[in-house]
Amino acid sequence: MKVPIFQVDAFTDRIFGGNPAAVCPLKEWLDEKTMQRLAQENNLSETAFFVKNGDEYDLRWFTPEVEVDLCGHATLATAHVLFEHLDYAEDEIRFQTKSGLLIVKREGDRLMMDFPTDDMPQVDPPAVLFQALGIRSDHVFFTDDYMVVLDSEEEVQNLEPDFRLLSEVNARGVIVTAPGKEVDFVSRFFAPGAGIDEDPVTGSAHTKLTPYWSRKLGKDILEARQISKRVGELSCRNKGERTEILGSAVTYMIGEINI
């Protein structure tokens, strides 16, 4: 059996930037074990699999270790593949996922993703969180991720987490964020428990970052940068219960998997 594969750099307009994702179009679902093994073999933060279902597409995402409920950059990559390589003619794609309906639209030379907002309550963090990050903060929030707010971009940039300790934190991942010097806010995202020490660009994290910084800065349209080594650029719009995230994507590789 042969499975098409596309590797796409998301949230960037140049190869070697943003966050790479593998995208595998399927005619019908493979068994879960096979999809997980393919994601492990790809060894990227996410591999997306999708199947056409009427006028919509069913979409699933796998890290090298686990299936996840939501992934922004691999959704952007999947939409890019449909628009640029699979002759999708409409301006809007509807994906059915474990997180419900996700919509991606063309908007100029970028793609806009419409995701459910995740407005995080403030919490008292576990001690291991600060031990692992090597910093402290009075502003920590949690739903399925922890979000730690710092005072400056430099503090975020200079973090050197203890990933072994960080993997002990009971969460999908940890977002660390601060005001940006050239953009409204910056962030980094760590998920060693899911097999990803640092994710280069994390679209889903911006469904949590956007409502926080929207309130903090008093604006609903925000420019964001994820300051990993690869760097990702995102525009975010606070729409209340929904968050719109805009970004670019570029194809790095097209191939075929032999199973």
Continuous H helices in the chain: 32-42, 72-85, 127-133, 153-157, 163-166, 206-217
Angle, vertex CA 69, rays to CA 66 and CA 74, nearest 5:
85
Residues 80-92, mean pLDDT to the nearest whole number: 96
Residues 62-88, mean pLDDT to the nearest whole number: 94
pLDDT over 90 at 149, yes or no: yes
Q: What is the pLDDT of residues 175-198, one digit of tens each?
A: 999 999 999 999 999 999 888 899
The confidence score (pLDDT) of residue 194 equals 81
pTM of the model as a whole: 0.88
The confidence score (pLDDT) of residue 195 equals 82
The confidence score (pLDDT) of residue 145 equals 96
The one catalytic residue in 32, 46, 84, 160 is 46
Percent of the chain at pLDDT > 90 equals 96
Domains of the chain: residue spans and CATH: 2-116+246-258 (3.10.310.10), 127-240 (3.10.310.10)
The confidence score (pLDDT) of residue 193 equals 85
Residue given tokens 């690869």 in the structure block: 230
Distance CA 117, CA 136 (A): 26
User: Does the active-site annotation cover 154?
Assistant: no
The values of phi and psi at residue 153, to 5°, are -60, -35
Residues 87-115, mean pLDDT to the nearest whole number: 94
8 A C-beta contact, residue 107 and residue 246? yes
Continuous H helices in 43-193: 72-85, 127-133, 153-157, 163-166
